[in-house]
Chain A
Amino acid sequence: MSMWATLNRNVFKRTSTFALAIASGTFFFERTFDLVSNTLFERINKGKLWNDIKDKYE
């Protein structure tokens, strides 16, 4: 529970730090989310994408 206490008192309680945490969290969230969704898309569409058939034409 001390982790929650540190988080609450240092980050969440003050609006400035909370907003900063949201902004920086968005930065990392965007990268991970894009990476994960791209990987998922490529796994689902494996064999249909240009990268998979490129060596036939080059």
Chain B
Amino acid sequence: MTSVVRAGHLAPYFKASSPVVSNGLKIAAAVPTPTDKLVVKPLPKTSTVQTLHGALPIQGLKVKAGAKVPVQVRFAHTDIAVPDFSAYRRKENQDPRVKAEEHVDGRHSFTYLIAGAGSVASAYAAKSVVTQFVSSMAAAADVLALAKIEVNLAEIPEGKSVTFKWRGKPLFIRHRTPEEIATEKAVPLESLRDPQTDEQRAQDPKFLVVIGVCTHLGCVPVANAGDFGGYYCPCHGSHYDASGRIRKGPAPLNLEVPPHTYTDNLLIVG
């Protein structure tokens, strides 16, 4: 009522358009409608997807409201025939009266067997691909063939230094005399620039195996020369002793000892 009082000049329109009664409810407008026959289409004869969809009460729906008209919409599909899926079922599943647990193991193990066989095959293929890829990074066979040399130690006379080529570098093998061995073993470590004992450098004290590249600037030293009876680098005057250790001159390190092993009277370097 307050709104009517406030909007005084509009009050006639409100009165005309919406009659207000004392309990605040609108008067129900009773509109008579003709009673049509209704509502859901009859079910089609053939149960295809399209006809079933057209029969659903979800589109083109006309519902008449009114006092005499039934307005319910049926969603219970008890009258729709269940589609026939037997073409898609496995043989064991065709009969709906058989319990599933009687044939579930056969069906499942067949499925898993197919999946497992596929996984085994693909795991094998993946392993082969990875192995080939990784082994392509390994050294080639011709490189590996050159990576090792065998030296017959009986051919090297005592007191001689023999030069071989190993991995593109000169390799010195020296058959040392007992005097040389005794001299090298007696050298005190404090007097050395690159302290290494003779035992660390020569597995077999009779033979010294070193790479013949001067550690100064890479010249090839001369054997059985220099102040210490070992090797002498003519380029800048580095003196190595009979154990290949730097004793005098500009070189900072001893001559490098490559990995080597002895078998019977064969020396294998590499």
Question: Which residue numbers of A lie inside 8 Å of B, CB to CB?
Answer: 1, 4-5, 7-9, 12-13, 18, 21-23, 25-26, 29-30, 33
Residues B116 and A22 in contact, CB atoms below 8 Å apart: yes
Interface residue from B106, B119, B124 paired with A33 (Cβ < 8 Å): B124
Q: Which residues of B contact A29 (CB under 8 A)?
A: 120-121, 124
Interface centre among A4, A9, A13, A29 (most CB of B within 10 A): A4
Tell me, in angstroms, the Cα distance from A19 to B128 when the chains sit together: 19
Q: Mark B105-128, 1 if CB is under 8 A from A, else 0.
A: 110111011001001110110010
Tell me, in angstroms, the Cα distance from A6 to B116 when the chains sit together: 16
Residues B116 and A8 in contact, CB atoms below 8 Å apart: no
Question: Which residue numbers of B lie inside 8 Å of A, CB to CB?
Answer: 105-106, 108-110, 112-113, 116, 119-121, 123-124, 127
Given contacts A12-B112, A12-B116, A18-B112, is CB(A26)–CB(B105) below 8 Å? no
Residues A22 and B120 in contact, CB atoms below 8 Å apart: yes
Q: Which residues of A contact B105 (CB under 8 A)?
A: 1, 4-5, 8-9
Q: Which residues of A contact B116 (CB under 8 A)?
A: 12, 18, 21-22, 25
Residues A22 and B123 in contact, CB atoms below 8 Å apart: yes
Tell me, in angstroms, the Cα distance from A4 to B109 when the chains sit together: 6
Considering only CB atoms, which chain B residue lies closest to A30 in the complex? B124
With A5-B105, A8-B108, A25-B116 already in contact, 19 other A-B pairs whose C-beta atoms are closer than 8 Å: A1-B105, A4-B105, A4-B106, A4-B109, A5-B109, A8-B105, A12-B108, A12-B109, A12-B112, A12-B113, A12-B116, A13-B108, A22-B116, A22-B119, A22-B123, A26-B124, A29-B120, A29-B124, A30-B124
Considering only CB atoms, which chain A residue lies closest to B102 in the complex? A1
The 9 closest A-B pairs by CB, nearest first: A12-B112, A5-B105, A8-B109, A4-B109, A26-B123, A8-B105, A22-B119, A25-B120, A4-B105
Considering only CB atoms, which chain A residue lies closest to B126 in the complex? A26
Q: Which residues of B contact A30 (CB under 8 A)?
A: 124, 127
Interface centre among B110, B113, B120, B121 (most CB of A within 10 A): B120
Tell me, in angstroms, the Cα distance from A30 to B122 when the chains sit together: 11
Tell me, in angstroms, the Cα distance from A26 to B110 when the chains sit together: 19
Q: Which residues of B contact A33 (CB under 8 A)?
A: 124
Q: Which residues of B contact A22 (CB under 8 A)?
A: 116, 119-120, 123
Q: Which residues of B contact A5 (CB under 8 A)?
A: 105-106, 109
Q: Which residues of B contact A1 (CB under 8 A)?
A: 105-106
Q: Which residues of A contact B124 (CB under 8 A)?
A: 26, 29-30, 33
Tell me, in angstroms, the Cα distance from A23 to B123 when the chains sit together: 8
Report the minimal beta-carbon distance from B218 to chain A, rounded to whole angstroms.
Answer: 42
Report the minimal beta-carbon distance from A26 to chain B, rounded to whole angstroms.
Answer: 4
Tell me, in angstroms, the Cα distance from A37 to B116 when the chains sit together: 22
